[in-house]
Amino acid sequence: MNILITGANGYIGQRLIPVLLQQGHELFCCVRDKSVFESRRAHPQIHTIEIDFLEEQTFKLFPPVDVAFYLIHSMGATVGGFEEQEARAARNFQKLIEPTSCRQIIYLSSIVNEEVLSDHLSSRSNVEKILRSGLVPATVLRAGIVVGSGSASFEIVRDLVEKLPLMVAPRWLNTLCQPIAVRNVIQFLVGVMLRESAYNKDFDIGGPDVLTYKQMLLQFAEVRKLKRWVIIVPVMTPRLSSYWLYFVTQISYPLAVNLVESMKVNIVARPNDLATELGIGLISYKTAVQLGLEKIEQQVVLSGWRDSFSSSGADHKAMNEARVPEFGCFNDTKVRDVTGKSKRVWENIWSIGGDKGWYYADALWVFRGLMDKAVGGVGLNRGRTNANDIRPGDALDFWRVLVADRENHRLLLYAEMKLPGEAWLEFRIENRENGEQLVQSATFRPRGVWGRLYWYAVLPFHKLIFNGMIDNLSSA
């Protein structure tokens, strides 16, 4: 079967692809950044379509397909304003898919059973209407909180539980939700393919447990064998709640605002027999948490929400810049001899960031991350998706990985922190006449006068930090 997947670089898309490949399907994956996707997914049955559904100049004819998965969401990029973007992307997708031989569209939406909805949930409902108004039959699966290693909800709860023994929390922690394991989500998505009884219908999908957010936190703590206390107070406004979530967890401020608005709405599934019809055994919340934690411990997290550009609001076009600009830039380049020990040095570089830290003055890196958080940036606590591997497109603390070439010893990072300009950090090991050399380059392209003033203001700290970092990296 020929299957089209939009949002193939996203959290669910990355989980869906291996399952469909195992079943022998031919996949046509729509992504905005072809180079990033192909560096992760090289397979003879995967065909990449580089397209941005918001930019008409990127549109192209779709190949003949049987099923199309619509997995595009944009909640994390901005505070509000994403509704029009999501609607426009859905309309453009519909125009492109209708001329094909596609027999079914499958859309993963959100549970929307309350009369008063947040902007996020209203937008999902509107996209449903757009997709179901076309000529191709659409099946809509509505999920609530998705629980699995790397999911936004999983990482938020994990951050709160592991960082805060006592939580003074807002009233929305008493809101009801019905979490579902990511494994079950994938089973539902695959199970409804070309199932004619599901055409032009919507189904709520959820796990067996209906819980408050407070109960989710406490049950997560039980699985982690941690004692935690949660005190609900009525004085925390949505704005204060958003700041609380933003500073304590690794999510961006726009995502925090949009999540808080949605967390005030009960998300409980309407009963249906779809799980029974498809033979799906629903996984309990505690079991889903345990499975997620095992994946993290085994370093086999398949995908993470933070690795999507929408998690930071960064310009995805930066991923196309595998070369660091030379003109109009400030540069701090340092070189150390690593002859005879380059392999060990490269292992140091490959494990940089996250729990490993930055090899020098970690307290200053943390302080810089807090400063970034204070002005609405991503901060330092996104960490790494995998402690042992780096791939292009990964988030790495407040950097984004542009190039991760282990064989040729090159790692290039692009700064996603709030800056009056653009910044790159590059590591290379080069073979020169006098032996193997580690080259560490920090490049900054200022934006106006403020950018230049910023560079000179932080220059003394750069000299200290970057000298210490390359010395420790090369002392393997």
- pLDDT (0 to 100) of residue 309: 46
Dihedral sign for Cα atoms in the order 320, 325, 331, 336: positive
How buried is 434 (Cβ within 10 angstroms: 0-12 exposed, 13-18 middle, 19+ buried)?
exposed
Beta 201-205 vs 399-405: how paired, if at all? unpaired
Q: Which residue has the tokens 């997947």?
A: 5
CA–CA gap between residue 145 and residue 383 (Å, rounded): 22
R_g of the chain, CA atoms, integer Å: 23
Which pLDDT score is estimated for 208?
Answer: 96
- H runs (alpha helix) in 252-341: 253-263, 274-278, 285-297
Helix (H) / strand (E) element for 306: namely none
Dist. CA 402–CA 450, nearest whole Å: 26
Tens of pLDDT along the chain (476 residues) come to 999 999 988 889 989 999 999 999 999 999 987 877 776 677 889 999 999 998 888 898 899 999 999 998 865 455 556 788 889 999 999 999 999 999 999 999 999 888 887 777 888 889 999 999 989 999 999 999 899 887 878 888 888 888 889 988 878 888 999 999 999 999 999 999 999 999 999 999 999 999 999 999 999 999 999 999 999 887 767 677 777 777 777 666 777 777 777 777 889 999 999 999 999 999 999 999 999 888 776 544 555 445 554 444 445 455 445 578 877 788 999 999 999 999 999 999 999 998 888 999 989 888 888 888 777 777 777 778 777 788 888 888 889 888 888 888 999 999 988 898 889 999 999 998 888 999 999 999 888 888 889 999 999 998 899 999 999 999 86
User: Could you tell me the CA-to-CA distances from 443 to 172, 425, 427, 446 in Å, in that order?
Assistant: 44, 6, 12, 10
Candidates 428, 372, 105; CA nearest to 247 is: 372
Per-residue CA distances from 126 to 89, 103, 469 (Å): 12, 22, 50
CB atoms within 10 A of CB 464: 13
Phi, psi of 404 (to 5 degrees): -135, 85
Phi, psi for residue 134 in degrees, rounded to 5 = -90, -170
Ramachandran assignment for 407, one of left (phi > 0), alpha (psi -120 to 50 degrees), beta (any other): alpha
The pLDDT score that the predictor gives to residue 305 is 47
pTM: 0.74
Exposed e or buried b per residue across 64-95, where buried means at least 16 C-beta atoms within 10 angstroms of its C-beta: ebbbbbbbbbbbbbbbeebbebbeebbbbbbe
Separation in Å, CA 272 to CA 49, 203, 207, 276: 36, 7, 12, 9
Report CA-CA distances (Å) from 378 to 62, 159, 208, 306, 465. 36, 15, 34, 10, 21
Q: What are phi and psi of 64, to 5 degrees?
A: -65, 125
Can you give the pLDDT at residue 128?
93
Q: Would you call 16 helix, strand, or coil by DSSP?
A: helix
Q: Are 96 and 253 in contact (CB under 8 A)?
A: no
Q: Are the CB atoms for 369 and 380 separated by under 8 Å?
A: yes
Using CA atoms, how far apart are residues 461 and 209, in angstroms rounded to an integer? Answer: 51
Are the C-beta atoms of residues 350 and 438 closer than 8 Å to each other?
Answer: no
Cβ neighbors of 46 (< 8 A, separation 6 or more) are 17, 21, 27, 29
Q: Is 118 exposed, middle or buried (0-12, 13-18, 19+ CB in 10 A)?
A: buried
Which residue in 470, 450, 455 sits closest to 336, CA to CA? 470
At residue 311, the pLDDT reads 45
Torsion region of 353: left, alpha or beta (phi above 0 gives left; psi -120 to 50 gives alpha) = left
